[in-house]
Amino acid sequence: MARRPAAAPSRSRSRGASPSAARRSADVTEAVREAAKLAPVLREAVLAGRDAPTPKLAARADALFTKLLERGARAVAKQPALASECALAALSIARGEEARTRAYDVAAASANALGGARAAEIWLHVAIDAWAHGRIARAQSAADRASACAGDGASPELRARIALERGRIAFGRSEWAVARAHTEDARAIAASNELVALEALAHVGLAAIGSHELAPDAARHARRAILLAERIGSKDVLGRAQAQLGIVLVERGVHDEGRRVLESAITLERERGEGENECRALLYLSMLEVDAGRPLHALHCLGRAREVAMARGSRVARAMVHGSVGVVHLVRGHPRPAARELVEADLVLEDVGNRHARITFSAFLAAAEALAGRPTEARAAFAQARTLMQEGVGPAYGVELLRVLEQVLAVTEGASVDDARDVLAEIERGSVAAHWADLRVACALARRAIVGEAASKLPRIEPTPGLVIAHDGRWFSLEGSRPIDLESRPVLRRTLAVLAEARVSEPGVTVARATLVERLWPEDARLGERLLENRMNVAIATLRRLGLRDAIRTGDRGYRLREDLPVTIDPG
């Protein structure tokens, strides 16, 4: 019987791929697609208010993670591109630090096997993920490897993206000059190659860096980014640009426009489901509320920011929320819960290496410990903040912030209230306070601490006929009554001091409205005569409401203290 001829090799075998290999490849593709669908579901589970996904969802994610990582590890040697696809998909659904580290290791192995631009893409992806999860040292290492792999031969788009990420990481490490150099490189590459979206993001980065360097062009960069984003219709870039402009405006104390811009950014980012920028915008909106004297509104913003930070899985964002909540508790007069939140923030920020935020929160922690009656812990926190300042570049307002909050400890330990008040007045008059919301909040906190300490030391007035006024108008007492404290109300204090000075030197003489306005607001003439007179009328009405209704008389276009009322100036 004739032998049958051998079958011809299949097309797949002629190409070197077995049917089983093809099936494995298809299986991996399906697993990657499943991971892409599962990742947002995991984030939504946390966003819905659960600390962890349901057991069923968690088991599904863990099983898929293990499958992807095992396939990726086996494929590194022969199919590094497939291995990288598996590793990055596994990274998107990784739960916990150990799982994330395993995914990083497989991604790194596949990048080393591939080399070139493909490896640069993988390293960049690792850098972005590591940064988002607070692993700053790994993020910096991965970004540097991405830059080395890309070289000059990579596409302009990839080189610009890598430069932007390196700038962002340097910014997170408070290395302003390095951050600016990388971000300027990204802007130049993007602008020369008409990569408008990346050019806009570079302007966003330069606005952030400029804000921390007190550069006058910070807002200009942010507005330029908004124009570029609107030109190309990119909601992603527009949300980031609006958030950054809002941040610059909040730091500068421009509350009305800052609120509008931040709320617009929050709405846009919430519609897109993008958590990182929404969280940043909410944090700064809470800072605006504290700066404006509305701490309860700030807590509402921080509640939403905490949800978003948990959904993102970002340790840095959660630490910033903890620290911000601590500052709000402190402002509201609750130092012990404030200290707990600030300690929690410090522990995480120390782990991830964010020195800038640690300095700020350590200073507020010291104030919280001082107000809680724990001076030893307060001194330790101040020492930690100063050590961090000496180790590298801290926030531009760091020195002034420490000086302000050290006055809180000083007055609680019995130091001179007048000395603390002089330090505070010097810093409030300076240019730095006008550029930093954190410093203005610290000044308000210190002033309240000084006021509280001063109020506890208000003089006991012996029954004295007439009106007794402190030499600088800080308090007054009428007919031997309990002193009325005007320490925290500088306009009322100055108004009373001017009237008392006129009453003592020339009894019966009316102080003209124009003279009062000039004495009270010597540098605000540009605001207009009518507005300033309205302010003065409010101050007079408030003094009358506090007990001086019969003591202050209205004369010919001005005011005076009643001439038959005995007035005594207390020398202090």
Q: List the pLDDT tens digit at each of the 572 positions of the chain.
A: 444 444 444 433 444 445 565 666 777 788 888 888 888 877 665 544 444 567 888 888 889 999 998 988 988 888 899 889 999 999 888 888 889 899 999 999 999 999 899 999 999 999 998 887 778 888 999 999 999 999 878 899 999 999 999 999 998 777 888 999 999 999 999 999 999 999 999 999 999 998 887 778 899 999 999 999 999 999 889 999 999 999 999 988 888 999 999 999 999 888 877 667 888 899 999 999 988 888 888 888 898 888 888 776 677 888 999 999 999 999 888 899 999 999 999 988 887 677 788 899 999 999 999 988 889 999 999 999 999 888 665 677 888 899 999 988 888 888 887 888 888 888 887 777 778 888 888 888 888 777 665 444 445 445 567 888 887 778 888 877 778 888 777 888 888 888 888 888 888 888 988 888 888 877 665 566 777 788 888 888 889 888 888 889 888 788 998 888 888 877 65
Phi-psi region of 197 (alpha: psi -120 to 50; beta: other; left: phi over 0): alpha
If asked whether residues 341 and 410 sit together in one domain, one would say yes
Q: How do strand 484-485 and strand 552-555 relate by DSSP bridges? A: unpaired
CA angle 111, 116, 117 (to 5 degrees): 95
Look at residues 420, 451, 482 and tell me which one is the last residue of a structural domain: 451
Of residues 255, 251, 282, 287, the one with CA closest to residue 269: 282
If asked whether residues 480 and 447 sit together in one domain, one would say no
Structure tokens at 312: 């993102």
- Asked if residue 82 belongs to a domain, the reply is no
If asked whether residues 531 and 493 sit together in one domain, one would say yes
Looking at residue 535, its pLDDT comes to: 81
If asked whether residues 336 and 444 sit together in one domain, one would say yes
If asked whether residues 341 and 439 sit together in one domain, one would say yes
Looking at residue 341, its pLDDT comes to: 93
Looking at residue 524, its pLDDT comes to: 61
- Asked if residue 186 belongs to a domain, the reply is no
**Do residues 170 and 207 lie in contact, with contact meaning Cβ atoms separated by under 8 Å?**
no
Looking at residue 457, its pLDDT comes to: 47
- Asked if residue 159 belongs to a domain, the reply is no
d(CA 139, CA 124): 9
User: Which pTM was predicted?
Assistant: 0.68
CB atoms within 10 A of CB 233: 8
If asked whether residues 334 and 397 sit together in one domain, one would say yes
Continuous segment of H or E residues that includes residue 567: strand 567-570
Of residues 96, 34, 26, 31, the one with CA closest to residue 69: 31
If asked whether residues 407 and 519 sit together in one domain, one would say no
- Asked if residue 507 belongs to a domain, the reply is yes
Measured CA distances, 461 to 207, 388, 469, 494, 571 (Å): 55, 47, 11, 21, 13
- Residue span of the structural domain in which 372 resides: 324-451
Looking at residue 345, its pLDDT comes to: 92
Q: How do strand 484-485 and strand 475-478 relate by DSSP bridges? A: antiparallel
- Asked if residue 300 belongs to a domain, the reply is no
Residue with tokens 């609006």: 242
If asked whether residues 518 and 566 sit together in one domain, one would say yes
Of residues 303, 252, 259, the one with CA closest to residue 242: 259
Looking at residue 572, its pLDDT comes to: 54
The length of the chain in residues reads 572
If asked whether residues 489 and 519 sit together in one domain, one would say yes
Look at residues 395, 416, 451 and tell me which one is the last residue of a structural domain: 451
**Do residues 377 and 361 lie in contact, with contact meaning Cβ atoms separated by under 8 Å?**
no
d(CA 238, CA 204): 10
Measured CA distances, 332 to 175, 280, 404, 464 (Å): 33, 22, 18, 37
- Asked if residue 149 belongs to a domain, the reply is no
- Asked if residue 154 belongs to a domain, the reply is no
d(CA 272, CA 423): 47
Total domain count for the chain? 2
Q: Point out which residues pair with 467 in neighbouring strands.
A: 478, 567
- Asked if residue 367 belongs to a domain, the reply is yes
Q: Which DSSP symbol is given to 480?
A: T
CA angle 48, 49, 50 (to 5 degrees): 105
If asked whether residues 502 and 536 sit together in one domain, one would say yes
Look at residues 394, 424, 451 and tell me which one is the last residue of a structural domain: 451
Domain of 556, CATH number, reads: 1.10.10.10
